[in-house]
Structure 1
Amino acid sequence: MKRKLTVGNKVLFLLCAMYFITYIDRVNIATAAPFMQKDLNLSTTEMGIILSAFAYPYAFLQIFGGWIGDKVGPKKTLTIVGAVWSVTTALTGMVSGIFTAIIARIGLGLGEGAAFPTATKAMSQWLPKDKFGYAQGIVHSASRLGNAVAPPIIALLIVAFGWRESFFIMGVISVVWMFIWMWYFRDNPKNHPKMTAEELENLPPYVSKSEQSKIPIPWKALSRRILPVTFVDFCYGWTLWVYLTWLPSFLFTSYNLDIKNSALFSAGILLSGVIGDTLGGVISDKIYRKTGNLKLARRSMLIVGLTGSFIFLLPTLFVHNLTLIAVSMSLAFFFLELCNAVLWAIPMDIAPKHAGTASGMMNTGFGVAGMLSPVVFGFLIAVSGNWQVPFIMSIVLLGVGVLVTLTIDPSKQLTEPDLPIDKINPETKIGV
């Protein structure tokens, strides 16, 4: 008998589409860069400034964007930010110089900065607790797939229509997603016309926006619990940004590959992360269901992922063989991506009522890594004259990440501040 797709799974599919589209929207400029640089008469330095402009508002908006998602709700928040990133993506095709290009990229960072923390809030309301890791694995696999397929997709659009038109087309696709989300999603799963009583029974108690607004965010306690996760996310993000920004150049420079072959090798390596993202969440949830030990389920995957990436990056220091390096870097990226779903699931475990804010705090580590890693990596190459030195730094940070992971305990859910008994909602056990 064919299993019917639940409403929750359809919402998860919509979020997968969002992660896929947003990653193409944020990296499409890398493929269009040579054409933009030529048409707009930009120097390499100016193009670098444009490329990095996205990361700053994206990093600084994580916490505030997650807080907005908690207070306003995922439906309205993702609709608004979806409109922002759609418009700014399309406007990138209309830029006339460095100033307008920087403004467009800053706008894209502002639009996408709140997207993932708010999506995490939606997942915390629409999925059972024992599927948090699975859900995060699936959506982030979609983002990695978007990152891997962006170069050939954007290249085809540029060849067929032009670099400006490639941004217009992606802007239209983003707008279509925004309208579908606005039409289909409900903040309260109970209000969805297709929701069944059986599916609703397995979901966490719904916290309404009015109730959420009355829940004070325990900033000090939340920061204390999330800070180690933020640091591990920084260690993870440092190496991930190396893959996203320097991998083609590493293969091109160290192994004398042409642009086409370096892109193909890069895509093959990055695709291994799609598998790692999904498996990390699935395995972590499976451990939790079998043992009931959330600390074991989350910690073990982080330790395995960071350690595996540490081990398989070591050959970059000693081996100069394209095949071996491609295999070892693929395995390193696979293990690294085992961590991603778990890192996003932990804020949902620790603070489900503040999932947007908590995940925003966590992902600030990734955002800061995005600002520093590409610049420091390039600086170390320029100073040292070889690729081994910056890879050593990535390997060291992965080792430090393993040690910090031992301080994370997601099994202890953050408790809300004490409230008078007459201010407690008997259904949700929170203030009214």
Structure 2
Amino acid sequence: MANTKRGVCTSRVKRIQNVSLSLIFIICVLNYMDRGTLSVANPLIRNELGLSVAEMGVLLSAFLWPYAFTLLLAGGLVDRLKPRRVLTIAMIVWSIAQGAAGFIVSYGQFLLVRALLGVGEAPMFPTASRVVNDWYHEGDQALGVGIWNGAPPLGNAIAPIMLTPVMLMFGWRWMFVLMAVLGFILAGIWYSVYRDFDSKTLTEMDRHYLYQEGVAPEAHPVHAAAWGKLFSFRSTWGLILGFFGNVYIGWLFAAWLPGYLEQQRHMSIAKTGFVASVPFLFGLVGSILGGYLADRLTARGMTAIASRKMLTVGGLVIMACATFMAAETDSNFIAVASISAAIFFGQSSSGTSWSLATACAPANYAASLGAIMDFGGFIGGALAPMVTGFMVQATGSFTPPLLVAGVIGLLSAGAYTLGIGNEPISGKALASGQVPAM
């Protein structure tokens, strides 16, 4: 049974929670609008640069490969150097890359700036995970994660609505420049407002809210050897392989939904800008609801790992089945409804997976384990746009890549089920070098 008894959240900690989570949410929305600019401008960029569908698939993936591998470094940096400094630098880097995209003159240059965007955006989610882990009690963390994890689908939802008119009025290049300016502004606000967690500043009441029995868990220093030993735990691989399927399906839709609606469903660019936003709004609701349910199950006596694992697996299975439905239906309405259901349950599963990683992580390694999980996810995310582009070019249809995505989702649900154990990773075992039996 879970022991989630705690003191009342003090006004100071509540204020920090509200301000930090609001900032993280807004920055995450911008982060995903940045990623979505290429999808919104897909047809115009293809025409101007003379790109094939397969070449556009590679360009859509160019962001994701450096993003995925930078994640491995980003989580450790966040845990070691703290969120305020790391996220500020990250926002400056990704805003430079986004602005540069407005001035490219060749396909090769576009590949380079999208790769730099991936490097800059990698610390975003590990930072968000660490902020919630620092300032929320374990029994409240899933909802906190669910809130910031709802920002990506909101960013994907409003990107077509807000950026399509800008693109049609001023051109796609100015759309990229505008997003860069917003990024620089938010970087300054984050650095000015947020302050890193420091246990020395906590009052006795703060401690009784944040920690079991008011006693902080032993936090071992973050160093490369212990970080590397995270890969020797079965739960780490359960998170890596499980998140692979979630992000694979999610990025198939994030990268190709406007193109899918235009090519497969024969919608106009203007109509696509509206219809493509609808499924992602469902994702926002799904993420928050998943976090809320996970915390309620924990409050009723389930362990944090058990409640989050159950919702993560269930959401991913339904996401996969809804993707199958979208592939097989002839109805545009049913297709959009199925994709909306897939993103709803996929975001619910994504949010509870992030809070599951936090529950499994030793103290002081929340960002590291979350980033390792996200690395596995974004290997899937990097493959999805590219594989989809090649399959659509070869078959002339989005049906085969959607069916493949559904199968991958079911396999990843199995990885969560078999890989995640009932106990968190031991900080002492990590620090001492003990390697568990897989």
Structure 1 length-normalised TM: 0.86
Alignment-derived partner of residue 332 in structure 2: 322
Quick one: distance in 1 between partners of 2:216 and 2:247? 32
Aligned-pair CA distance for 1:311: 3.1
CA separation of 1:291 and 1:154: change in aligned 2, threshold 3 A? same
1:203 is matched with 210
Distance 1:80 1:221, change over 3 A: closer
CA, structure 1 residues 389+97, in 2 after alignment: closer, same or farther (shift >3 Å)? closer
- The corresponding residue for 1:398 is 409
> Paired residue for 2:350, among 340, 343, 366?
340
Which residue is equivalent to 2:267? 257
Paired residue secondary structure (1:25): helix
Q: Would you say how many aligned residue pairs link Structure 1 and Structure 2?
A: 415
CA distance in 2, matches of 1:126, 1:394: 36
Alpha-carbon distance in structure 2 between the residues aligned to 1:165 and 1:252: 23
Matched, 1:371 2:382: yes
Do the aligned partners of residues 374 and 122 (structure 1) sit closer, same or farther apart at CA in structure 2, a change above 3 Å counting? Answer: same
Aligned-residue offset at 1:251: 3.0
Report SS of the residue matched to 2:276: helix
Instruction: State the Cα distance separating 1:318 from its structure 2 match.
Output: 4.1
Measured in 2, the distance between the counterparts of 1:346 and 1:66 equals 16
Q: Which of 29, 51, 69 is equivalent to 1:43?
A: 51
1:155 matched residue in structure 2: 164
Q: Does 1:269 align with 2:276?
A: no
Segments of 5+ residues of structure 1 without an aligned counterpart are 422-432
Contact 1:346 1:410 in 2 (8 A): no
Rate the CA distance shift 1:376–1:50 in 2: closer, same or farther, 3 A: closer
Contact 1:236 1:366 in 2 (8 A): yes
Partner letter of residue 166 of structure 1? Answer: M
The alpha-carbon distance between structure 1 residues 58 and 419, as it changes in their structure 2 partners (threshold 3 A), is: closer
The corresponding residue for 1:126 is 135
Deviation per residue, 1:113-149 (Å, 9 max, x gap) = 1221122122211221112211221112112101111
- Contact map agreement 1:56 1:371 (CA 8 A) in 2: yes
Identity of aligned residues (%): 24
Alpha-carbon contact 2:226-2:430 (below 8 Å) kept = no
For 1:146-225, list aligned pairs within 5 A: 146-189=155-198, 198-199=205-206, 201-204=208-211, 212-213=221-222, 217=226, 219-224=228-233, 225=235
Task: For residue 419 of structure 1, report the CA deviation from its aligned partner.
Answer: 10
**Distance change in 2, residues 1:273/1:119 (3 Å):** same
Q: Quick one: distance in 2 between partners of 1:241 and 1:364?
A: 14
* Two-structure CA RMSD over aligned residues (Å): 2.9
* Structure 1 residue 220 displacement after superposition: 3.0
Tell me the distance in 2 between the aligned counterparts of 1:86 and 1:97.
Answer: 20
Q: Distance in 2 between matches of 1:106 and 1:400?
A: 29
Of 312, 319, 331 in structure 1, the residue corresponding to residue 322 of structure 2 is 312
2:167 counterpart letter in structure 1: I
- Using the TM superposition, give the Cα deviation of residue 158 of structure 1 relative to its aligned residue in structure 2, in angstroms: 2.9
Equivalence for 2:148? 139
* 2:16 equivalent in structure 1: 7
Displacement of 1:261 after TM fit?
2.6
Higher RCO structure, 1 or 2 (CA under 8 Å, sep 6+) = 2
Q: What are the within-5 Å matches in structure 2 for residues 289-308 of structure 1?
A: 289-308=299-318
Aligned to 2:427, the other structure's residue is in SS state coil
Aligned residue among 112, 119, 122 for 2:121: 112
Which segment is superposed worse, 297-306 or 322-331? 322-331
Q: CA deviation at 1:152?
A: 2.2
**274, 288, 297: which one pairs with 1:287?**
297
Residues 83/94 of structure 1: CA separation in 2 closer, same or farther (3 Å cut): same
Deviates more, 1:61-70 or 1:100-109: 100-109
1:190/1:162 CA distance change after superposition, 3 Å:
farther
Counterparts of 1:96 and 1:375, CA distance in 2: 22
197-206 or 369-378: which moved more?
Answer: 197-206
Cα distance in 2 for partners of 1:396, 1:48 equals: 21
Secondary structure of the residue aligned to 1:6 is helix
Q: Letter of the 2:285 partner, please give it.
A: I
Q: Does 278-287 or 245-254 show the bigger shift?
A: 245-254
> What's the counterpart of residue 108 of structure 2?
99
**Distance between the aligned counterparts of 2:431 and 2:111, measured in 1?**
50
**What secondary structure does 1:61 align onto?**
helix
Of 354-363 and 373-382, deviating more is 373-382
Which structure 1 residue ranges, 4+ long, deviate > 6 Å from structure 2? 205-209, 418-421
Question: Residue 24 of structure 1 is aligned with which of 12, 15, 33?
Answer: 33
1:68 paired with 2:40, answer no
Give the Å deviation of 1:87: 1.7
- Taking the aligned partners of 2:203 and 2:431, their CA distance within structure 1 comes to 34
Is the Cα contact below 8 Å between 1:63 and 1:360 reproduced in 2? yes
The 8 Å contact of residues 149 and 347 in structure 2, kept in 1 or not, is answered as no
Counterparts of 2:331 and 2:45, CA distance in 1: 35
The 5 A counterparts of 1:387-426 are: 387-409=398-420, 411-417=422-428
Query: CA separation in 2, counterparts of 1:218 and 1:259?
Result: 46
Contact 1:276 1:338 in 2 (8 A): yes
Does the C-alpha gap of structure 1 residues 153 and 191 become closer, same or farther in structure 2, counting only changes over 3 Å?
Answer: farther
Residue type of the partner of 2:260? F
- What amino acid is the match of 1:69? V
